[in-house]
Amino acid sequence: MRVTLSTLDTCESSFTPLVVIELAQDVKDETKEWLKNRIIAKKKDGGAQLLFRPLLNKYEKETLENQNLYLVGASNVRLLLGAEAVGLVKECTDAAMRAFTYGTRHNFKGFHDNNNDFLTMAECQFIIKHELENLRARDEKMIPGYPQAKLYPGKSLMRRLLTSGIVTQVFPLHDTEALKKLEDTWYTRFALKYQPIDSIRSYFGETIALYFGFLEYFTFALIPMAIIGLPYYLFVWEDYDKYVIFASFNLIWSTVILEVWKRGCANMTYRWGTLVMKRQFEEPRPGFHGVLGINSVTGREEPLYSSYKRQLRIYLVSLPFVCLCLYFSLYVMMIYFDMEDWALSLHEDSGSEWTSLLLYVPSIVYAVVIEIMNRLYRYAAEFLTSWENHRLESAYQNHLILKVLVFNFLNCFASLFYIAFVLKDMKLLRQSLATLLITSQILNQVVESLLPYWLQRKYCARVKRKVQALKSDVDTTLYEQVLLEKEMGTYLGTFDDYLELFLQFGYVSLFSCVYPLAAAFAVLNNFTEVNSDALKMCRVFKRPFAEPSASIGVWQLAFETMSVISVVTNCALIGMSPQVNAVFPESKTDLVLIVVAVEHALLALKFILAFAIPDKPRHIQQKLARLEFESLEALKQQQMKLVAENLKEEYQEDGKEAT
């Protein structure tokens, strides 16, 4: 018998909870009942057809504190049908990757009717999130009990509930047993080993697994630079002409590692199925607002906002604000140089050991100020980008990334460019680069992982004492878990993690010929970064919803742009060295022309390497071509079948007319 959504039961009293919905404390009973009915209603009636129950039953509510928390799950068949709806791609028995369909489920590797592990828990939670977000208003004009929360046909109910403050948060639950197994193989035992990337993907999804995969790859790719840079630092510190070989290796290295990463990324994402996963039609983001109208593409009623008004906001408000922030960053930089002059003059006057230590204070203070300014600007950039009212989440992210990257690049590297090309003080450049790199790494470790972990530990201890004080005779394991997780911080995505690696890549590559030890410090930091980020994901933040990804996205372009800039800076630094200048004592024009020619040759070499190294391995290209061929053949057969049916109907009608 063919299973359809209409035959599924949504009244199971006991099920494995996958997602938690927290409502505001003062939500009206009619709203709760309406939300419950919409979640458990059949798909043909406009529901999500999921399983839904409160965290506490009537007896437990008398014993434990009611938190307005609700659990959402789904039957195995419902999840399989949902996997087909979201377009999950799975491996078939013939080793090909194909979009999963419930009708052909037995053709997929690892599927059995009594096997509930065919879908990972991350995929199950992603499916439930998709179904909740696709609960849409039908004939309702408002949320029951809240006349100010207006609805219109096709509006996402969950997004309206969140923006209205009726639902405070929706988050996936941790699987305590699976999490413990993951931790044991990931970070609890400090050792130099590869990360369990496939296990991370199964638990957290592809986006986070790709970040940790890139972090691991980037760390190992830095090791050759660190090994080669160490003897340069120890033995030929002042011989800038010998740095030409090191800088040239750096430039080729930065190109090769990014191209090889694309190939490794393609291998991983093909194996996970996201490389061939069809992109879903992007819905308007939750914060998007405007006048109700008809979307000319979908034909649905939704808010519409003039792109002309958005452009005015961008160019008349956002752009001047960003320019003002950049000016302020340069102003702070000049204050830093005044502090350097003061510290240097003080040391020259006294010449004591204490004042020699004081020489590092301005750089340390400036590094701390840079981190504070970066974080403050990030909040301002998020507010501005949200105020610009972008319709799609992808457009919002692109504009936010552009704003943040421009400011962070100038804020972190402007002083180094000024020292290198205006002051031309290589000793100060080495000192500033080392101080900025090491200080930013220490601050990031403390602020992102250690401090939140310490605060979370204190909160966990308070909750456990509170639950134990209740002296309840009911099982409080799930209650305690939900209570702990709902107060954890929300992981806001991989943006900050990639940004940290991007800035680190800049410190290593932009001025490599001046401070070869930068790669060694980056390697040491990243070995601890892997463990601190793993701790952060498992114990500090709520479990994030899985998000399918086929690559690291716009960050690939950002890293490639940084590698191009590094060619220019390193060639210019080598051209400014005393040894190179001694070769052209009279004609500086010849020196400039030769440096420009070398820079162009290296850039040409970079682009040739990028072109020569395919983004996808040959076997992946062949498999993708095979899938495209199969899709075209299936479409052709479907069209032929449709034509045959039409001809059959016409023949039958002609036969009736003849009789």
Which of 13-22, 123-132, 303-312, 635-644 has the weakest average pLDDT? 635-644
Q: What is the predicted pLDDT for the residue at 376?
A: 92
Question: Amino acid identity of 37?
Answer: N
pLDDT at 9: 47
Q: What is the pTM of this model?
A: 0.86
Residue 349, pLDDT > 90, answer no
DSSP state of 491: P
pLDDT over 60 (residue 232): yes
Q: What is the mean pLDDT of the chain?
A: 82
| pLDDT of 624 over the 60 cut | yes
Give dist(CA 150, CA 164) in Å, integer. 10
In the structure encoding, which two tokens stand for residue 165, read together? 């403050």
Please work out, in degrees rounded to the nearest 5, the angle formed at the alpha carbon of residue 404 by the alpha carbons of 400 and 409: 150
Share of the chain above pLDDT 90, in %: 21
- Please report the DSSP string for 141-209 in residue order: SEETTEEEEE--TT-BHHHHHHHTTSEEEEEEPP-HHHHHHHHHHHTSS--S----HHHHHHHH-HHHH
Contact predicate 251/600, CB 8 Å: no
Q: What is the average pLDDT across 86-90?
A: 87
Q: How far apart, in whole angstroms, are the C-alpha atoms of residue 261 and residue 253?
A: 12
pLDDT at 1 over 50: no
Class of residue 141 by CB neighbours under 10 A (exposed 0-12, middle 13-18, buried 19+): exposed
pLDDT in tens, 473-524: 555 678 888 888 888 888 888 888 998 999 899 988 887 777 888 888 899 8
Map residue 22 onto helix, strand or coil: strand
Q: Is residue 617 classed exposed, middle or buried when 0-12, 13-18 and 19+ CB atoms within 10 A define those classes? A: middle
- The string of pLDDT tens digits covering residues 71-86 is 999 999 999 999 988 8
Torsion on CA atoms 478, 481, 483, 488, rounded to nearest 10: -160
Per the listing, tokens 């059949």 go with: 42
Long-range contacts of 444-451 (CB under 8 A, 24+ apart): 444/371, 444/500, 445/525, 445/528, 445/529, 445/532, 447/371, 448/496, 448/532, 448/533, 448/536, 449/532, 449/533, 449/535, 449/536, 449/540, 450/532
pLDDT band of 656, cuts 50, 70, 90? low
For range 528-554, the mean pLDDT? 88
Task: Look up tokens 């590559």; give the residue.
Answer: 509
* Percentage of residues of the chain with pLDDT beyond 70: 88
- Average pLDDT estimate for 595-619: 84
Give me the pLDDT at residue 467, please.
Answer: 62
Q: Are 374 and 408 in contact (CB under 8 A)?
A: yes
Considering only CA atoms, which of 437, 405, 431, 373 is closest in space to residue 562?
Answer: 405
The per-residue pLDDT for range 400-458, each reduced to its tens digit, is 988 998 999 998 889 889 988 888 887 888 888 888 888 888 888 777 777 777 777 77
Distance CA 401, CA 490 (A): 20
Residues 6+ apart with CB under 8 A from 388: 310, 313, 314, 318, 399
What would the pLDDT profile of 185-221 be if each residue is shown by its tens digit? Answer: 888 766 667 889 999 999 999 999 999 999 999 999 9
Q: Of 476, 423, 488, 620, nearest to 171 (Cα)?
A: 488
pLDDT of residue 46: 83
Q: How many Å separate Cα 255 from the centre of its chain?
A: 23
**19 confidence band (pLDDT: 50, 70, 90):** very high
252 exposure class (CB count in 10 Å sphere: 0-12, 13-18, 19+)? middle
Q: Are residues 542 and 489 in contact, defined by beta-carbon separation less than 8 angstroms?
A: yes
The vertex-141 CA angle with 137 and 144, nearest 5°, equals: 85
